[in-house]
Amino acid sequence: MVAVMNKSLVKYGVTVLALVAVLVVIFWQQFAAQPVIPSALKNMGGDFELQSSQGPLALHDFRGKAVLIYFGYTHCPDVCPMALGVMAAAMQQAGDALKHRVAGIFISVDPRRDTPDKLDQYARFFDPRIKGVTGTPALLDKVAAAWRVDYAVPDQPADASYAVEHSTFIYLVNPDGKVAGLFDEKTSAAVIAEQLRLWLR
């Protein structure tokens, strides 16, 4: 148990350091001609194919767009709706000229309760451009590892009321499909919107 906790703390610490590095780069990019990917993010992320209400959905389907990604679940009482609200606001604030070049993906780590149809309805509440997806536990584990996401789903039946522990970062993926930004749910929509504009200019 102690080893697991220590491993989680180390992994969380690495992610926090990556977030700090990202914030430094974001500040610097305000004065740079072209945005750059922080070195702490270069080995994070990767393509995936998960299930939406319309069928399989892959990250490469969004090539050419700036995409905001969040891992959570629909029964989440606070942080998930807060993060999705920030994502939706950032997409709106990016401007009408970019409305077809920004998108969002909400990945549920609770497939036992979150069906593709339920995810579609939930994500659309925030913005129709946010797509809800999920997958098998094995596939979600693989995606989460690549994106450095920690989560733990209790071994409970689908009709039970339980909380899922999970990382709470919002990922920005650039038009080339690379992770280019990392934000927590308390980051202002204006800051994220500016990053969307930088990567799409």
Residue 147, by phi and psi: left (phi above 0), alpha (psi -120 to 50) or beta? Answer: alpha
Q: What mean pLDDT comes out for the span 107-136?
A: 98
Both tokens of 37, joined, read 């990917």
What pLDDT does residue 2 have?
40
Both tokens of 49, joined, read 């194919």
Confidence bin at 185 (pLDDT 50/70/90): confident
> Over the stretch 62-85, which tens digit does the pLDDT of each residue have?
999 999 999 999 999 999 999 999
Domains contained in the chain, number: 1
Binding residues for Cu cation: 76, 80, 166
Helices 2-29 and 189-200 meet at what angle, rounded to 10? 60
What pLDDT does residue 4 have?
40
Yes or no: say if 78 and 86 are a contact pair by the CB < 8 Å rule.
no
Residue 66: CATH number of its domain: 3.40.30.10
Domain span at residue 156? 2-200
Binding residues: 76, 80, 166
What pLDDT does residue 34 have?
73
Quick check: 18 pLDDT over 70? no
What pLDDT does residue 29 have?
53
What pLDDT does residue 23 have?
56
Quick check: 60 pLDDT over 80? yes
Quick check: 25 pLDDT over 80? no
Quick check: 16 pLDDT over 90? no
Residue 170: exposed, middle, or buried by beta-carbon count in 10 A (0-12, 13-18, 19+)?
A: buried
Both tokens of 28, joined, read 């610097």
